[in-house]
Amino acid sequence: MSSSMGKTIGKNIIRMILLVIAVSIAAFTLMTLSPIDPLQANVGQAALGSMSQEQIAKLEEYWGVGQPPLQRYLAWAKDFFTGDMGVSLLYRQEVSKVIAVKLGNSMFLMVMAWVFSGILGFVLGAVAGMHRGRAADKIIRGYCLTVSSTPAFWIAMLLLIVFGVWLKVLPIGLSVPIGVEASGVTFLDRVRHAILPAVTLSITGISNIALHTREKMIDIMESDYVLFARARGESNWQIFKNHGFRNVIGPAMTLQFAAISEIFGGSVLVEQVFSYPGLGQAAVSAGLGSDLPLLMAITIISALFVFGGNLIANILYGVIDPRIRKGEKAV
Amino acid sequence: MEKNTSPVLEIRHMNISFLQYEKGFRQVELPVISDLNLTIEEGEMVAVVGSSGSGKSLLAHGVMGILPYNASMGGEMIYRGQPLTRKRIQKLRGNEIVMVPQSTSYLDPLMKVGQQICKGSRDEEKKKKLNQIFHRFSLEEKVQQQYPFELSGGMTRRIMISTALIENPRLVIADEPTPGLHLKMAKRAMEHFRQLADMGAGVLVITHDLELALETADKVVVFYAGHTIEEANASDFKEVSLLRHPYTRALWKAIPQNGFESIPGIQPYVKEMPKGCPFAPRCEKRTAECEGEIPYRKVRDGYVRCLYDA
């Protein structure tokens, strides 16, 4: 058992390293192919016109214009793998510090959305699957299909208009109130600012989880063992408690951890709409501003999160399902 | 108290059909069981024998009220003197009326065996009873903590029979309880049902194994292409001349000790069912009348659906 455990860990570490290398190469390639001129984007056309040749050369060196890409990549990679993520060109701070702050903001939002969409999605999916074809199922499915075909940023704007502009009950953006000193910001302020973005992320997250849970639940309800349970006089509630929940929780957990990637991706758009200073927004500004070290770091950290989510999903599945836990061949 | 002279279960003219879509939106009704009749008395073990594809399993599902949504059932079922309505079966199934399923797929793969037999209940009485059943079936107590995938075929079979024994059944319906078991185990499984009958329950065993059925059952109902074609006492099978239907006689002759002979042809598929007697195309004695209505009539303390009784 322990040797196979070691093997699994080793395999996953190798996989992770390969993933980081592949992702970094892809991100770097895209970045060098980007048509954005870093000087024009960050300094501005007018300012550039009034600068001397030496000043422009200095700036070009700062933004890395004209350097051979391979050399640039290797220099970055050498630093990165020795633990130095470099200095953000936009924020003029260590990338690690920038990310720590942004990730902190985003985490708050993403964890809220992840937990909320996971629990609600599971409940809705289970209810719909148990009552296939009836009113509850139709309503839940209708909601999920509508939401999953609606872009997240559009929902974000809709919520913003309703709650931020018309009802004025929630702030329209940012993560803290405007014009308040950092020391004066309360935890409640932060929560209030995170509500709309988190709800937006949840709304879109729910539909995916609910639809998948529903599918799985329908399979279970059509299984022979549920038929037999019915023949043994088990009520709908007993069937759910004894068989439905037990069989659906494994796949639902897997899905939930795999859904981390969607929450991550969704947060980029949603943070943009709400001007929420999180990782997603930082990624957008790093991309548009040619901030290579920051963008690379964010990309890799996101990849690691998604990888970690999937890894946990796999491990959990083995823990939950006795057929895998007790070492049967894959079913 | 209901009179105990009435049979445990009486099925009259049961028919089950499926609605199916065929090429586009044309709906076809497929009659899988037509005019099924049988009676089970208290303490009696009745075997329904038929080859695969004859619709036997649906009989069990029909009685238990677990037919799929696109199936419809007609006819009459009378349980202990009163009609077995949908409502009544929903109340009785799982305690007075139990079913023993056909295969491992009827066990929840993620639920421990012991819990599963007790339907998740933590009742001490039930646990005691479970231990007794396990003892009787020579199953180790640790098996209760195992999952279905860890069981051998024979153990699975015993576990499924245990789900019936944990209740206090008056009617047991066993759907193919023996396939996959070697002869000794299969015989033992049949003996468990015999014991249930001897304890006073009515037992209906659905099987394709005539030889095995004859060893333990009191009565045999022969099923062919969705029709009950004969009801005979198990003792009738001692002498071929006591049997009433040509198909039953053919089944008798197919038993190794009786000649191991098979007859040509196959059981007709529901969509190509002949008019009148379903067995006519394979029957040596068929006449033009066999295409008409064939009554299910009483002959020598049994029943037969044939115009020509030997």
Question: What residue ranges do the domains of chain A occupy?
Answer: 2-81, 95-325
A 10 A CB-CB count for A326 gives 12
Complex ipTM > 0.85:
yes
Q: Are A207 and A143 in contact (CB under 8 A)?
A: yes
Do B61 and B182 have their domain in common? yes
| Nearest Cα residue in chain A from B91 | A233
Do B177 and B215 have their domain in common? yes
Could you tell me if residue B79 is inside a domain?
no
Q: Of the ranges A50-54, B12-16, B224-228, which is most confident?
A: B12-16
**How many domains are there within chain B?**
2
Do B109 and B253 have their domain in common? no
Do B156 and B178 have their domain in common? no
pLDDT of residue A120: 93
Do B214 and B181 have their domain in common? yes
CATH number of the domain that B263 lies in? Answer: 3.40.50.300
Chain B residues whose beta carbon lies within 8 Å of the beta carbon of residue A232: 93-94, 98-99, 119, 163
Cβ within 8 Å, pair A233-B101: no
C-alpha R_g of chain B: 20
Cβ within 8 Å, pair A232-B90: no
Chain A residues whose beta carbon lies within 8 Å of the beta carbon of residue B149: 322-323, 328, 331
Domain ranges, residue B123: 102-166
Q: Are A20 and A289 in contact (CB under 8 A)?
A: no
Question: What stretch of H or E contains B185?
Answer: helix B183-198
Residues 6+ apart with CB under 8 A from A182: A176
Do B134 and B113 have their domain in common? yes
Do B123 and B155 have their domain in common? yes
Do B253 and B124 have their domain in common? no
Q: How far is A321 from chain B (nearest CA, A)?
A: 7
**Boundary-marking domain end, from B118, B151, B166:** B166
d(CA B62, CA B58) in angstroms, rounded, equals 6
Please tell me the number of Cα atoms within 13 Å of B175 on its side-chain side: 21
Could you tell me if residue B281 is inside a domain?
no
Identify which of A309, A310, A327, A295 has the alpha carbon closest to the alpha carbon of residue A38. A295
Could you tell me if residue B75 is inside a domain?
no
pLDDT of residue A3: 61
Q: What is the mean pLDDT of residues B55-59?
A: 83
| B152 in contact with A, Cβ within 8 Å | no
Could you tell me if residue B19 is inside a domain?
no
Q: Residues 158 to 187 of B: which have CB under 8 A from any A CB?
A: 163
pLDDT of residue A330: 41
Output the tens digit of pLDDT for each of chain A's 331 residues: 456 667 878 888 898 889 989 999 998 888 888 777 777 777 777 777 777 778 877 777 777 777 788 888 888 888 888 878 788 877 888 888 888 888 888 888 888 889 999 999 999 999 999 999 899 999 999 999 998 888 888 888 888 888 878 887 777 777 777 777 777 777 787 788 888 888 888 888 898 899 999 999 999 999 999 999 999 999 999 999 999 999 998 888 888 888 888 888 888 888 888 888 888 888 888 888 888 888 888 899 889 988 888 888 888 877 778 887 776 544 4
Cβ within 8 Å, pair A233-B111: no
What tokens appear for B43 in the block?
């303490």
Could you tell me if residue B47 is inside a domain?
yes
d(CA B140, CA B136) in angstroms, rounded, equals 10
Q: Are A143 and A123 in contact (CB under 8 A)?
A: no
Do B155 and B177 have their domain in common? no
Smallest Cβ–Cβ distance between B106 and the set A228, A241, A321 belongs to A228
Local structure of residue A51 (DSSP, 8 states): S
Do B90 and B114 have their domain in common? no
Could you tell me if residue B30 is inside a domain?
no
| B105 in contact with A, Cβ within 8 Å | yes
Q: Which residues of B61-100 are buried (b: 16+ CB within 10 A; e: fewer)?
A: bbbbbbbeeebebebebbbbeeebeeebbeebbbebbbbb
Could you tell me if residue B61 is inside a domain?
yes
pLDDT of residue A331: 40
Task: Express each pLDDT in B246-292 by its tens digit.
Answer: 888 888 888 888 888 888 888 887 777 888 888 888 888 888 888 88
Secondary-structure class of domain A95-325 per CATH: mainly alpha
Do B157 and B221 have their domain in common? no
Cβ within 8 Å, pair B110-A322: yes
Do B256 and B117 have their domain in common? no
